[in-house]
Amino acid sequence: MAECHPVGFQWVMEAKLRGATIIHVDPRFTRTSAMADLHVPIRAGTDIAFLGGIVNHILQNERYFEEYVKQYTNASAIVGEGFDDTEDLDGLFSGWDPERGQYDPTTWQYEGVEVAPAAGQREMFTGEPHSERGTRVTMQHTDPTLQHPRCVFQILKRHYARYTPEVVEDVCGVPKEMFLRVADALCENSGRERTSAFCYAVGWTQHTVGVQYIRTASIVQLLLGNIGRPGGGILALRGHASIQGSTDIPTLYNLLPGYLAMPKANFDVDLRSYIGNNESASGWWSEFPKYIVSLLKAYWGDAAREDNDWCYDHLPHLSGDHSHMNTVAEMADGKVKGYCLMGENPTVGSMHGALHREGMRKLDWLVVRDFSVTESADFWRTAPEIARGEVRAEDIETEVFFFPAAAHTEKDGSFTNTQRLLQWHHKAVEPPGECRSDLWFTYHLGRRLRELYDGSAERKDRPILDLTWEYPTKGPHQEPDAEAILKEINGYTVADGEPVSGFQDLKADGSTACGCWIYSGCYEDGVNQTARKKPWTKQDWVAPEWAWAWPANRRILYNRASADPEGRPWSERKRYVWWNGEHGRWEGFDNPDFVLDRPPDYRPEEGTTGVDTIAGNDPFIMQADGKGWLYAPNGLLDGPLPTHYEPQESVCQNPLYGQQCNPARLEWHRKDNPYHRAFGDPRFPYVITTYRLTEHHTAGAMTRWLSWLNELQPEMFCEVSPELAEEKGLANGGWATITTARGEIECRVLVTRRLRPLTIRGRQVHQIGLPYHWAGRGLSRGDPANELISFVADPNVSIQESKALTGNIEPGRRSRQRRVVTSGPLASPPPGDAHRDLPPARNKPEGRHGLSASASQLKEPTE
Amino acid sequence: MTLGTEPATRKGFFTDTTVCIGCKACEVACKQWNQLPDDGQFFTGMSYDNTVDLGASTWRHVAFIERPVPLFADPIPGDSDETFSWLLMSDVCKHCQRAGCLENCPTGAIVRTEFDTVFVQPDVCNGCGYCVVGCPFGVIDRREDDGRAWKCTLCYDRLKDDMEPACAKACPTNSIQFGDLDELRRRAEERVTQLHDRGIGDAYLYGADAAGQPGTEGLNAFFLLVDEPEVYNLPPDPVVPTKKAGAAWLSAAAAALGLLGAAVGAVVMGGRR
């Protein structure tokens, strides 16, 4: 966190100053470790085993927060009889469907009730989609004593029983004593009087089991009562200034603003079925229709009427997986014609740069908007395969358009940070030359498209022609007014255009329009609430008048959990929101995240639906059952409980199960995307992990052009332990070549004690650290680490596994031979066989794991 | 000699190295505000330190010291990490009470300001370089392209506008604290006590006053360290050369007298022959 979020880290330092214990778990000793009370070196890719060990420690030693667990989590819920655990099936859960190559979650459900998840794969449920989910939630079977063998609590206990400190040591390479110190520190700093927080970043997400990493942390935090309370939580440290904003108002292919699902072509055939598939009969998602109708009104204004489903058919409908890696793989197969890159440099920042470039060579056109001509914009001229003559620039037919972009200081707009805080920034200077803001580009592109389609009678052109696209512009370049867009995001009443005061004002009858329901309220009273800059010293400690947080300016989500079941603060020290019986409402330092006038003792009657199903002790209002999910009966594609699987490429066999890897992971079986052996590949004996440095930013387009930053970190390097340096003859400051089956890179060597070999079952395991900022352009240059990484992904969110893989390192500069696998194999095929999957999962059809490779991709690429 | 007309309070830096996260924001903020050139790109292989030392165009420098010594005396059995720690420290011109550079400067280019800081007037400096050898810390240096001597100004221009220096402003963790010297000393002493209470018994102040560092008579930019000064590339007992000037003149005079006596003696003795 100190490395990549130094400004946010000031608050960790503030906590430390006030006596907090800081623990840092990381394969490397970093700047964060230097500040921590304890650094725990861990084998990359084993965090579920580590956190699972903590879960087991809490359960075995009865260190959980009993009242919180019983009342606020689904510990007492009873799971159906058909559920089998990984402990019974050697690493698979019940419901594995070898025909489809994925799980059927039917057996994971609560007994007698089907519930929709708050997030994740909301459309994933048993059988045909229907809107009945949650209707019987009030009749759910529970065992408040937590003794029933099929209650979540007992299932959890059995599932993690084998995650003992000894197993943690065996899997993670973390000495037992050190592990226990972490577990005890967490337990001692949790409960009524104290809370603990987890912070994570892509070190947890970029794995084939990334979502389950965070799920494991959720289990720990729910057991310890650390969610919804001040000083608690699980904090996702986002990688860019507004990447939180780009998931809220998404650049993701499968979401609409405010985490509404993108319609699926095959079953969301009309608005009724779409709403039916996405709303929940219980919990807050019962409000879903209001949000989608208001969004459609914001998009298509007067054209959106009740008799045409509010223009629902104008929305794009998904026909398949169009996530990043699938799109690039299809591009490489010649199936994608055009590609827009706005502030993204995927040939450096994303996995397997060579495959990206192969894809871009097959495009008709490419649009890049960035501060500088990035490696992605220049792929046709300065790529390594071109420098080596493997590809000739004159053979590439892609037409490339480069648009210089304005920096954030050159435009108005907002950043949404890790804490869901929207902070407005004002333009300080005009952008130089031809540089323009993204807003300018998008608005004028839309405007010109509408001019082109003007007068068209074709139905397919209606979505563009019907758009509400009237924004005031200003200045010499007709820059659209960013505040006008913020106002549309906030929402307004259609009749008079007045801003609504929040999402509670939204209606499903077309009388309101709202661009993103969770942001509703950010322009309350016609005032840009996100531009508020009242210092914390001049208001109370929650500082609600600094900027604006979604939802409803709430600074801590699910904060009903900061009070006990009767609505009293768990302790004076940790008071945050509470029930005021006299006023008949919830009050506190923050905006209560609950139905304001719902008394703590309210219990819904059987058969209740909608928001009325939220009982007075249901803090997790977005869940259909109002409880924090220790066990996820729905919503995840790879199982209801996190389980330790090894990365796609590992140095170790999975010591816990016969199933080596996440069975539901996404693979791309292509000649240009070879994998190593599952474990023990003699060609690639070392663990590789990638990361960022403080001195540079992601793929470097912003930083590698600045001499003041380049002098601080002037060259690509790898970090290795003195032991590995000695084993391989690597000299500090000298050169090394690092290889995987995908590519080969060279870099400087930094020998440091901050990397150290771990002992895993008596064997020494070496880890190599690689920053990934460098590439072929800019003032400081080097090889990109991501050339080494394969296309393989977490099934839930299609994120690549770049934080744990295997590779080899040799002293000296790279060979002058072939450098990227897209031009032909780099290494001989893996010797022997090491299965990743148990027989039922091994027979999965390849097509279910990413898109199937066509016959042509399975052949050697032709010269 | 002081610049300005109104007397101001004595200003300085207290750099608390125990909260430095090594982000180098101070280095970049300093270069940006003062429009200093980069030092060239050179991968040193010395931890994360690629700018190496203070110089004519690097007025803040962050040292990264990987040392085989634990920070806390609280070992975990079987953990070799306990024998390792990474010290991070943002170094800067010390603005000494007895400033060797100032006292060596023959042109009066180097002055003490109304903020009690040491400032090189670039329009007066003739590039003689006497100041360079006068600094016991090796801070001040001449720029190759123009020959003049440069070092941290403690953002004299910002202080004139009532703003704190760029490095302190950019520091996210308050490792670099700017303020009135008396207040900084008080805060620093409190911090040392706090660290001692928390088991970091090695914490001490470097150059906080004349008693602790007679050779400079105290530093306006002083530090909280947790290891010997040499570990941070600081001299253990810096002495401003001019401090020895008096004694040097005395001994030179004594030597001259002795020589004179010897010469006279030789003549007298010779005359007797």
- Could you read off the pLDDT of B99-145 as tens digits, one per residue? 999 999 999 999 999 999 999 999 999 999 999 999 999 999 999 98
Chain B partners within 8 Å of A756 (Cβ): 80-81
Decide: A79 and A111 in contact? Cβ < 8 Å: yes
User: Would you call A460 an interface residue with chain B, using a CB distance cutoff of 8 Å?
Assistant: no
pLDDT band at A458 (very low <50, low <70, confident <90, very high): very high
What pLDDT score does A394 carry? 95
Chain B partners within 8 Å of A31 (Cβ): 21-23, 86, 88
Q: What type of residue is B265?
A: G
* Facing A694 at nearest CB: one of B24, B45, B50: B24
pLDDT band at A337 (very low <50, low <70, confident <90, very high): very high
Pick the range with the lowest mean pLDDT from A122-126, A676-680, A691-695.
Answer: A122-126
For residue A708, what are the contacts with CB-CB under 8 A and spacing of at least 6?
Answer: B27, B28, B31, B32, B38
Interchain pair A31, B86: CB under 8 A: yes
Per DSSP, the residues of A559-585 read: GGGGB-TTSSBS-STT--EEEETTTTE
Nearest-neighbour CA in chain B from A779: distance (Å): 9
User: Would you call A388 an interface residue with chain B, using a CB distance cutoff of 8 Å?
Assistant: no
Average pLDDT of the residues of chain A = 92
Q: What type of residue is A520?
A: S
**Which helix (H) or strand (E) is A736 found in, with range?**
strand A735-739
Calpha distance A42→A160 (Å, rounded): 19
Interchain pair A756, B43: CB under 8 A: no
What pLDDT score does A752 carry? 96
Calpha distance A765→A782 (Å, rounded): 27
Q: Which two tokens stand for residue A659?
A: 């199933």
Calpha distance A28→A55 (Å, rounded): 24
**Which helix (H) or strand (E) is A203 found in, with range?**
helix A202-205
Calpha distance A52→A645 (Å, rounded): 12
Calpha distance A808→A817 (Å, rounded): 17
What pLDDT score does A854 carry? 32
Q: Which two tokens stand for residue A462?
A: 């209606």
Per DSSP bridges, beta strands A805-811 and A735-739 are antiparallel
Calpha distance A539→B177 (Å, rounded): 25
Mean pLDDT (whole number) for A542-559: 96
pLDDT band at A119 (very low <50, low <70, confident <90, very high): confident
Q: Tell me how many degrees the CA angle A267-A273-A276 measures, rounded to the nearest 5.
A: 120
From start to end of A186-248, where are the E strands?
198-200, 234-236
Of B123, B112, B109, B97, the C-alpha closest to B4 is B112
Best mutation target among B28, B33, B43 (most A Cβ atoms within 10 Å) is B43
pLDDT band at B271 (very low <50, low <70, confident <90, very high): low
What pLDDT score does A816 carry? 67
Q: Which of residues 175-204 of A touch B (CB under 8 A)?
A: 175, 177-178, 181
User: Does residue A856 carry a pLDDT above 50?
Assistant: no
User: Does residue A435 carry a pLDDT above 60?
Assistant: yes
User: Would you call B200 an interface residue with chain A, using a CB distance cutoff of 8 Å?
Assistant: no
What pLDDT score does B109 carry? 97
Decide: A447 and A440 in contact? Cβ < 8 Å: no
Mean pLDDT (whole number) for B237-263: 83
Percent of chain A with pLDDT over 90: 84
Q: Which two tokens stand for residue A617?
A: 């002790």
Q: What type of residue is A583?
A: H
Nearest-neighbour CA in chain A from B101: distance (Å): 27
What pLDDT score does B270 carry? 63
What pLDDT score does A58 carry? 98
Q: Is the peptide bond before A784 cis (omega within 30 degrees of 0)?
A: no
User: Would you call A31 an interface residue with chain B, using a CB distance cutoff of 8 Å?
Assistant: yes
Q: Which two tokens stand for residue A610?
A: 């909608």
Place of tokens 């693979």: A667
* Facing A780 at nearest CB: one of B41, B66, B173: B41
Interchain pair B88, A177: CB under 8 A: no
- Could you read off the pLDDT of A134-180 as tens digits, one per residue? 556 666 789 999 999 999 999 999 999 999 999 999 999 999 999 99
**Minimal-distance CA residue of chain B relative to A732:** B45
User: Would you call A833 an interface residue with chain B, using a CB distance cutoff of 8 Å?
Assistant: no
For residue B138, what are the contacts with CB-CB under 8 A and spacing of at least 6?
Answer: B53, B54
Nearest-neighbour CA in chain A from B100: distance (Å): 30
Interchain pair B66, A753: CB under 8 A: yes
User: Would you call A580 an interface residue with chain B, using a CB distance cutoff of 8 Å?
Assistant: no
User: Would you call B38 an interface residue with chain A, using a CB distance cutoff of 8 Å?
Assistant: yes
What pLDDT score does B6 carry? 53
What pLDDT score does A859 carry? 32
Helix (H, G, I), strand (E, B) or coil at A325: helix
Interchain pair A13, B174: CB under 8 A: yes
From start to end of A91-133, where are the E strands?
96-97, 102-103
C-alpha dihedral, A853 to A855 to A859 to A863, nearest 10°? -100
User: Would you call B37 an interface residue with chain A, using a CB distance cutoff of 8 Å?
Assistant: yes
Other Cβ atoms closer than 10 A to B40: 12
Calpha distance A169→A761 (Å, rounded): 8
Chain B partners within 8 Å of A780 (Cβ): 41
From start to end of A569-698, where are the E strands?
577-580, 585-588, 666-667, 686-691
Best mutation target among A706, A710, A712 (most B Cβ atoms within 10 Å) is A712
Helix (H, G, I), strand (E, B) or coil at A199: strand
Q: Which residue has the higher pLDDT, B170 or A608?
A: B170
User: Would you call B263 an interface residue with chain A, using a CB distance cutoff of 8 Å?
Assistant: no
* Facing B43 at nearest CB: one of A13, A31, A717: A717
Q: Which residue has the higher pLDDT, A480 or B198?
A: A480
What pLDDT score does A763 carry? 93
Calpha distance A517→A515 (Å, rounded): 7
User: Does residue A128 carry a pLDDT above 50?
Assistant: no
The secondary structure of residue A534, as a DSSP letter, is -
**Minimal-distance CA residue of chain B relative to A1:** B21
Q: Identify any residues that bridge with A369 across adjacent strands, giving them in sequence order.
A: A342, A403
User: Would you call B191 an interface residue with chain A, using a CB distance cutoff of 8 Å?
Assistant: no
pLDDT band at A112 (very low <50, low <70, confident <90, very high): confident
Place of tokens 């923050």: A590
Other Cβ atoms closer than 10 A to A171: 26
Q: Is the pTM of this model over 0.90?
A: yes
- Could you read off the pLDDT of A717-730 as tens digits, one per residue? 999 999 999 999 99
User: Would you call B57 an interface residue with chain A, using a CB distance cutoff of 8 Å?
Assistant: no
Chain B partners within 8 Å of A177 (Cβ): 76-79
Interchain pair B41, A34: CB under 8 A: no
Distances (CA, A) of A844 to A89, A555, A632, A835, A847: 17, 44, 24, 13, 8
Calpha distance A11→A20 (Å, rounded): 11
Interchain pair B44, A780: CB under 8 A: no
For residue A91, what are the contacts with CB-CB under 8 A and spacing of at least 6?
Answer: A643, A645, A654, A656, A657, A658, A659, A660, A663, A838
User: Would you call B197 an interface residue with chain A, using a CB distance cutoff of 8 Å?
Assistant: no
Q: How far is CA A57 from the centre of its chain?
A: 27
Q: Which two tokens stand for residue A681?
A: 């590949």
Interchain pair A2, B86: CB under 8 A: no
**Which helix (H) or strand (E) is A724 found in, with range?**
helix A722-728
- Could you read off the pLDDT of A295-323 as tens digits, one per residue? 999 999 999 999 999 999 999 999 888 89
- Could you read off the pLDDT of B35-89 as tens digits, one per residue? 999 999 999 999 999 999 999 999 999 999 999 887 765 555 555 555 789 999 9
pLDDT band at A656 (very low <50, low <70, confident <90, very high): very high
Of A622, A838, A653, the C-alpha closest to A763 is A653
Per DSSP, the residues of chain B read: ---SSS----EEEEEEGGG-----HHHHHHHHHHTPPP-------STT--S-S--SS-SEEEEEEEESS-SSS-PPTT-GGGG-EEEEEEEE---BSS-HHHHH-SSS-EEE-TTS-EEE-TTT-----HHHHH-TT---EE-TTT--EE----SHHHHHTT---HHHHH-TTS-EEEEEHHHHHHHHHHHHHHHHHTT-TT-EEESSSTTT-TTTT-BSEEEEESS-GGGGT--SS---GGGGHHHHHHHHHHHHHHHHHHHHHHHHHHHH-
User: Would you call B193 an interface residue with chain A, using a CB distance cutoff of 8 Å?
Assistant: no
Q: Which two tokens stand for residue A705?
A: 């052009």
Helix (H, G, I), strand (E, B) or coil at A505: helix
Phi and psi of A858, rounded to 5°? -85, -10
Interchain pair B24, A695: CB under 8 A: yes
Pick the range with the lowest mean pLDDT from A243-247, A805-809, A856-860.
Answer: A856-860
* Facing A752 at nearest CB: one of B39, B66, B72: B66
* Facing B81 at nearest CB: one of A41, A694, A713: A41
Per DSSP, the residues of A764-779 read: EE-EEEEE----SSSS
Q: What type of residue is A2?
A: A
Chain A partners within 8 Å of B82 (Cβ): none
- Could you read off the pLDDT of A60-109 as tens digits, one per residue? 999 999 999 999 999 999 999 999 999 999 999 999 988 888 898 889 99
Model ipTM over 0.95: no
Size of interface A-B (CB pairs under 8 A): 113
User: Would you call A716 an interface residue with chain B, using a CB distance cutoff of 8 Å?
Assistant: no
Decide: A390 and A862 in contact? Cβ < 8 Å: no
**Minimal-distance CA residue of chain B relative to A750:** B45
Percent of chain B with pLDDT over 70: 91
Of A608, A638, A600, A642, the C-alpha closest to A625 is A608
Best mutation target among B48, B174, B176 (most A Cβ atoms within 10 Å) is B48
Nearest-neighbour CA in chain B from A711: distance (Å): 5
What pLDDT score does B272 carry? 57
Mean pLDDT (whole number) for A645-669: 95
User: Would you call A710 an interface residue with chain B, using a CB distance cutoff of 8 Å?
Assistant: yes
Calpha distance A40→A21 (Å, rounded): 13
Q: Which of residues 143-182 of A touch B (CB under 8 A)?
A: 175, 177-178, 181
* Facing A714 at nearest CB: one of B50, B80, B172: B50
- Could you read off the pLDDT of A36-68 as tens digits, one per residue? 999 999 999 999 999 999 999 999 999 999 999
**Minimal-distance CA residue of chain A relative to B53:** A712
Calpha distance A172→A179 (Å, rounded): 10
Decide: B120 and B151 in contact? Cβ < 8 Å: yes
Calpha distance A27→A689 (Å, rounded): 8
What's chain A's Rg over C-alpha atoms?
27
C-alpha dihedral, B54 to B58 to B62 to B65, nearest 10°? -40
User: Does residue A585 carry a pLDDT above 80?
Assistant: yes
Interchain pair A749, B44: CB under 8 A: no
User: Does residue B267 carry a pLDDT above 90?
Assistant: no
* Facing B45 at nearest CB: one of A17, A177, A750: A750
